[in-house]
Structure 1
Amino acid sequence: MSNNSPLISVIVPIYNRLHFLPQLFNTIFAQDYENFEVIIVDDGSTDDSAKWINDNKHSFRKEITMIYQPNAGHYAARNNGLDHAKGELIAFQDSDDEWPSYHLSQFAKLFEKNPDVDWIFGSLRRINHDTRETVEESNFVTKGGNRHPFLLLDTDTREDGLAVITDKRIGEVAILSRVPGSTQSAIMRKKIYSSLRFDPSYRTAYDQFFAVKVVLAGFTFGFVEDVHQIYHIHDAHVSTVAGGNADKMEKSARTHIRGYSSLLPCTHTKQEADKVNKRLAQEWAWSLSTALRDKKQHKAEFKAMCNAIKLFPSEPLYWKTALAALTRSIVG
């Protein structure tokens, strides 16, 4: 690493995360890289998170910047942190997850050697927070055991294991299959955020749509095979839309419909727009309609299927499922 290694701004929103703070600061200050700043954005915590940080800041090997804001959500807190960031590179972390010690140093070196690359990500490993047992070894492999489609795009192989995506289909694949590098397992150039910011009206799930928007804006992506995020699964997750009962399923579906709809103005080709409509149809058909069926709201279920058909009329299963929903609506 050169003497002019890039400054990395590490931005972490926190909200009532007192229990996780020791782990958070351990993973930040265990990094084998020196040229970074730490920006903590307290999103209106009502527990003793701020007091714990103040009481323990003398033990941190770097000074930290503390920002306080009324509760406005995770993405508003990230935007606030970006407004105060001085680094040319940006790293986000969540208060309940971890990085391997090489996270900052490996990516800083790659950015130095590859000035044409804007976003570099690694894989994510999921573990049980209480037992630390591995639940998923890598998000680079799908549940079916196949390699993630985004990683199958044409790439330019660089030094130190960096694969830079050169495929013109990157936008279409990102829309259909998402970008496997979450914001926490990645580091990005700050210039991305001069034209794009997180939408603070979302309280969850926006990372995946933000990454696709960065792809569609023409920024260059690269990846390495190494693990760069250790994601903790526990009962205190902030997500209000993750799996479970029909109400959560419905909220998740509506969030995803809104998210995919927001991609349409960002598309540049008919193929990209068609892929957005395909994903929207799937959300209307298999996510929202299923949740509404489970809630026995069959008229609304049928309307959801009709929206799917409007978007993707060539799918015969949509027509068959719509007929079944109509039948349930009439009988009900």
Structure 2
Amino acid sequence: MDTQWPLISAIVPTYNREEPLRDSIADLLAQDYPHLEIIVVDQTRTHTPEIAAYLSDMASSEKIRLFRVTWASLPGARNYAVRRAQGEIILFIDDDVKLPPDFLKAHARNYLEKPAVGAVAGRVFDRMKLSDSGGNLTIQDLPPEAMDPGIAWYYIDLVHTVKPQQVLSVRGCNMSFRRAIFSEHGLQFDERFRGSAVREESDFCLRLRQTGYQIWYDPEAHLVHLGEETGGCHDISTRSLQYQITFYHNHFFMGLKNLTPNQSRRFFARLFDCHVLGNPPCYKTPSLRHAIVRFSFYTLGFLSALITLIQANANDGQIYSWRDELSQNQ
């Protein structure tokens, strides 16, 4: 009996990417999967003529569903696409990835075989992290710390782990969810995560776990993340003041929203030890001057997150969704 593969909505938020976006779409179109819709949420003001023509051709031939928006927010783009998605499985990839031909089947198989699974975290062959490890590291079982929300973020390794298992969170460039997470439980990505939106998927997964669904890591659902240095979440220089403050803002905001006081204390202490003092696994420049500068960003990020949290009563986290007519009708 043939497998009844569910419809997958493959969502590609994009911002200031050209050839890598085209190649990512091409890999989706080449998938060995019978029921697929591709949704591209384009936040780029102006594409090169070649890529603009490609996107127009793909949309006019109904190979993709193309939506252009006038703002730039990764969680906002995710929410925008989810409201328009028709699939039973909602899958997200970045706009700079390479996919094997059975990528979609690997994701879908988990939902068909495991009713308790509400989200699938795919393996990410990250060029930078593989280079740091020499490409020889393999992990079977993640340590118990990887399921502790207070410190998990320094133990979850979805690059080198080769054994399927339950995990606490996913990586945003390769993740999928049952539609029920959105339609029945009402979860949305929090659009108050700024800049690169680091930790927006972690925040989402911590809330997802409250539904009772499991998050399952499947190394067979793997892709290559090219990690392009321009466009996407790298559009803001990592050396810029704005990037540094939003980086810490997002970490503190996730913790203040979701963690217990004890978990928050351990999370913020680890954030300080790694990103301010530069201890492993961060390996930052070991100088007092650099540490003082990083501490200033750490402090400003914390204060910024507090302000965001205080404003939460007047803001449900859907900063961009309120502009969407579909959001207003739901």
Normalising by structure 1, report the TM-score: 0.67
SS of 2:98's equivalent in the other structure is coil
Query: Deviation digits for residues 254-311 of structure 1, max 9, x if unmatched?
Result: 33222222223xx5xxxxx42232112333455357799538669958978x99xxxx
Q: Which runs of 5+ in 2 are unaligned?
A: 159-169, 279-283, 304-330
Residue number in structure 2 paired with 1:19: 19
Give the whole-Å Cα distance in 2 for the aligned partners of 1:109 and 1:244: 38
Q: Which has the larger radius of gyration?
A: 1
Structure 1 residue aligned with 2:229, among 220, 228, 235?
Answer: 235
Match of 2:7 in 1: 7
Is residue 170–residue 215 contact of structure 1 (8 Å, CA) maintained in 2? no
Q: Aligned pair in 2 of structure 1 residues 73, 50: CA closer, same or farther (>3 Å)? A: farther
Q: Greater relative contact order (Cα 8 A, min sep 6): structure 1 or 2? A: 2
Q: Which position in structure 2 is the counterpart of 1:210?
A: 204
For the structure 1 residues 152 and 29, does the alpha-carbon distance in structure 2 shift closer, same or farther, using more than 3 Å as the test? same
Q: Is the 8 A contact 2:276 2:295 kept in 1?
A: no
Per-residue CA deviation, residues 153-187 of structure 1 (Å, 9 max, x unaligned), is 59xxxxxxxxxxxx9x5656646645743133232
Percent identical across equivalent pairs? 21
Q: Residue 257 of structure 1 corresponds to which residue in structure 2?
A: 252
Question: Does 1:281 find its partner at 2:273?
Answer: no
Where does residue 114 of structure 2 map in the other structure?
A: 114
Contact 2:150–2:267 (CA under 8 A) maintained in structure 1: no
Correspondence 1:201 to 2:205: no
Counterparts of 2:23 and 2:292 in 1: how far apart (Å)?
44
Of 41, 52, 55, 2:54 maps to 52
Deviation at 1:13, TM superposition (A): 1.2
Whole-Å separation in 1 of the counterparts to 2:131 and 2:221: 8
Structure 2 CA distance for partners of 1:299 and 1:94, relative to 1, 3 Å: closer
1:142 touches 1:148 (CA, 8 Å); kept in 2?
no
- Superposed displacement of residue 124, structure 1: 0.9
TM-score (norm 2): 0.68
**Displaced runs of 4 or more, over 6 A:** 141-144, 289-292, 301-304
Equivalent position amino acid for 1:253 in 2: Y
- Which residue in the other structure is 2:100 paired with? 100
Answer whether contact 1:126 1:233 (CA < 8 A) is retained.
Answer: yes
Give the secondary structure class of the aligned counterpart of 1:53: helix
Tell whether the 8 Å contact from 2:106 to 2:220 is kept in structure 1 after alignment.
no
Contact 1:126-1:232 within 8 A present in 2 as well: yes
- Answer whether contact 1:42 1:50 (CA < 8 A) is retained: no
CA distance in 1, matches of 2:298, 2:188: 36
Inter-CA distance 188–174: structure 2 relative to 1 (3 Å threshold)? farther
Larger mean CA deviation between 92-101 and 15-24 belongs to: 15-24
Q: Do 1:38 and 1:65's aligned partners in 2 also have CA atoms closer than 8 Å?
A: yes
Structure 1 vs Structure 2 CA RMSD: 4.0
1:193-234 superposed Cα distances (whole Å, 9 cap, x missing partner): 243211223232122333333235432122223351210033
Alignment of structure 1 residues 63-102 onto 2, 5 Å: 63-102=63-102
Query: How is 1:169-188 mapped onto 2 (pairs within 5 angstroms)?
Result: 171=149, 174=152, 177-178=155-156, 180=158, 181-188=170-177
8 Å CA contact 2:116, 2:213 repeated in 1: no
